[in-house]
Amino acid sequence: MKNPLHVYGEGWPAGPGWGPVRRILAFSSIWRSERHRHLVFERFGAVPRSTTAVYRKRLFPLPMAKAERKRRRPRRVAPPGSRAAQPGPRGALNRRKERHLDACLDGAVDLGRDSFAAWALRYRALPELALADVSTEVEFAGRKVAAPFIISCMTGGVGSRFERINRNLALGAEALRIPLGLGSMRVLLAHPEARGSFQVREWAPTVPLIANLGLVSFNHGLTIADVARVIELARPDVLGLHLNALQEAVQDGGDTDFRGCIGKLEEILAACPLPVYVKECGGGIAPELVELLAALGVHYIDVSGADGTSWAAVEASLSADPSFGELFRDFGLPTAWLLEHLPGTLAGKAQIVASGGIRNGIQAAKALALGARHVALARPFLVAAEQSAEAVVALGRRLMRELRTAMFLVGVDKVSGLGREHLIDRRGAW
């Protein structure tokens, strides 16, 4: 090895104290790596003048050189008239949507609970059917779909990121032949330029779409005319209305006036030409409210239990006082408990949708056996959609395979055949 003092010695500062350091380093193994040599130069506050130019071209540039390159980098200017040249998203609503998206992709807001662990599927060693004969097909909004899974309502707003995620979700839903829920569309009414993230019918022409508005927003400016506008723009098969009292209560400046919401719901049900889907946002819909919603004429009731994404935790991550939202992080009703305590019969044509912490086909089978007709998932599909449409399809196919296998192992060839007789209550049963 060449003497490092000879190769890199030029430019070293002279003076008392440097001689011993140079002699030690000359015979140290740290000099066997050029990267280490440069880091040592940096550590002792001296870089040879002769190596500065080389330094700037390597993977470990000087901070000064990096900053200098950043200053010299030409600024990208969008062509006049292009979408990138348009004014950025306006208002706090769209910025909040972006921050919600980042928070939901962070696993820290996922409670990760499994209330279905209290139940076991009753295994049948001789199922008396072929796995190939097991069908997961069901009907949703008058259309045959491949499985009882729903890609739940998630996001939308102004910007290419929202458009890319919803396009991936739509392409995935179409390939899987399962329903797709859209994110809250109030941002579309406030910012028409957000339509690109909600008009996904082009990519999902044959599967049911669920539009989505917050019911409390009808106490804060939304009208029946806005419902008609949303239906015109998104061309959905179902109108979704979300309930989110917990989220609004912990949100800085949330909409917390829920007075008269039942009356508003009745007005919407009377005026809306589409089936209505009412869902919670991770807090749960208690059995007595399920019964009331069914009596009012709601077609789909998504109980959305408190096992998965905590919207209190999401809002806490955005709050000036995070400790307040974190206190309510696990507030709400467990998903399996909600299904276990469903009324024996529901008025009208109401169907139960289970969601909240369901992450695999076995949990889905338990939810269906407890009385749900469909199962909705949000965050797992969001994580996949952030990657690609192919990742969405892969996740959906895995879920379908898991559900089909669970059905086979309990001796059921149709989703409608799953019932409580296929469950064992582990709380004292064994």
Give the residue range(s) of CATH 3.20.20.70 domains in the chain.
92-429
Nearest to 367, CA basis, from 380, 353, 351: 353
SS3 86: coil
Residue 69: the pLDDT is: 44
Rounded CA separation 281/114 (Å): 17
Which position has the token pair 């001689």? 19
Helix residue ranges per DSSP H, 142-200: 160-176, 186-190, 195-198
* pLDDT number for residue 15: 52
pLDDT tens, position by position, for the chain (430 residues)? 444 444 444 444 445 555 555 554 444 444 444 444 444 444 445 444 444 344 333 433 444 444 444 444 444 433 443 333 344 445 577 788 888 999 999 889 999 999 999 999 999 999 999 999 999 999 999 999 999 999 999 999 889 999 999 999 999 999 999 999 999 999 999 889 999 999 999 999 999 999 999 999 999 999 999 999 999 999 999 999 999 999 999 999 999 999 999 999 999 999 999 999 999 999 999 999 999 999 999 999 999 999 999 999 999 999 999 999 999 999 999 999 999 999 888 988 899 999 999 999 999 999 999 999 999 999 999 999 999 999 999 999 999 999 999 999 999 999 999 999 999 999 875 5
**Contact, 373 vs 148, CB < 8 A?**
yes
Give me the numbers of helices (H) and strands (E) for the chain, helices first please: 20, 12
Instruction: Please classify residue 205 by burial: count the beta carbons closer than 10 Å to its beta carbon, then call 0-12 exposed, 13-18 middle and 19+ buried.
Output: exposed
pLDDT at 323: 96
Q: What is the DSSP string of 90-154?
A: -SHHHHHHHHHHHHHHSGGGB----GGGGEEE---S---S-GGG-B--EEETTEEESSSEEE---
Amino acid at position 88, single letter:
G
The confidence score (pLDDT) of residue 307 equals 97
C-beta of residue 271 within 8 angstroms of C-beta of residue 239: no
Q: Which value, in Å, is the radius of gyration of the alpha carbons in the chain?
A: 29
pTM of the model: 0.79
Kindly state which CATH superfamily the domain 92-429 is placed in: Aldolase class I (3.20.20.70)
Number of residues that this document lists for the chain? 430
